[in-house]
């Protein structure tokens, strides 16, 4: 099931998998994220580790951190699939992935995230980034919110559309990336497989 993904992680270190989620899963997770946002459960995302600072000029998304014990059934099903992925990566690539930290991220119109790496300077636990896009099927290029992804920091980035159901995964310490400003709410389930 993950053969191509594992080969890409072992080689170039990144992979894009359209159709990782079914349309029903996309809708259920999108609705779950929107309901939690409407209930006031989200907060402005910060920059840095620990007492992260809210820096709207760097990143403008709002996040809700996932507590697996309180996950609704559609989210639990996706978490189980990500656990299967974690085990497959460990078996094939010996990365020692121990757990996953995940959050819903909503970028409101006009919000983006400047170019960055996902690993903190003083903490190397974040090892493999996972992004699952939860946007509706009519998402178009004019809606913005693309992922700019630099496989090589010295050349032009790859442009990855945030199409619902797509999984993007990459080695967290290696790849610079950026989110271009969205023109309507851009929704994802994003996180990191971590080492101990």
Instruction: State pLDDT tens for residues 115-157.
Output: 999 876 667 889 999 999 999 999 999 999 999 999 998 999 9
Q: How far apart are CA 28 and CA 195, in angstroms?
A: 30
CATH number of the domain at 151, please.
2.60.120.620
How many structural domains are present in the chain? 1
Residue 77 confidence (pLDDT) above 60: yes
**Mean per-residue pLDDT for 76-92?**
95
What pLDDT, on a 0 to 100 scale, did the predictor assign at position 52? Answer: 65
Domain annotation covers residue 130: yes
Structural domain boundaries enclosing 99: 3-41+58-173
Q: How far apart are CA 165 and CA 25, in angstroms?
A: 8
Domain annotation covers residue 179: no
Q: Looking at the DSSP assignment, which residues form a beta bridge with residue 193?
A: 100, 128
């Amino acid at each position: 099931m993950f053969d191509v993904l594992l080969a890409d992680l072992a080689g170039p270190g990144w992979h894009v998998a359209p159709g990782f989620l079914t349309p029903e899963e996309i809708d259920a997770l999108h609705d779950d994220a929107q309901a939690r946002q409407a209930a006031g459960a989200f907060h402005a995302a910060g920059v840095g580790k620990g007492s992260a600072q809210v820096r709207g000029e760097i990143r403008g998304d709002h996040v809700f951190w996932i507590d697996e014990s309180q996950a609704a059934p559609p989210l639990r099903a996706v978490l189980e699939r990500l656990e299967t992925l974690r085990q497959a990566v460990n078996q094939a690539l010996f990365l020692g992935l121990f757990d996953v930290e995940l959050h819903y991220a909503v970028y409101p119109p006009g919000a983006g995230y400047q170019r960055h790496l996902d690993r903190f300077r003083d903490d190397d636990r974040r090892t493999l980034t996972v992004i699952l896009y939860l946007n509706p099927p009519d998402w178009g290029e004019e809606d913005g919110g693309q992922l700019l992804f630099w496989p090589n920091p010295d050349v032009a980035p790859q442009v990855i559309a945030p199409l619902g159901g797509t999984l993007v995964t990459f080695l967290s310490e290696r790849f610079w990336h950026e989110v271009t400003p969205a023109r309507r709410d851009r929704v994802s389930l994003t996180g990191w497989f971590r080492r101990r």
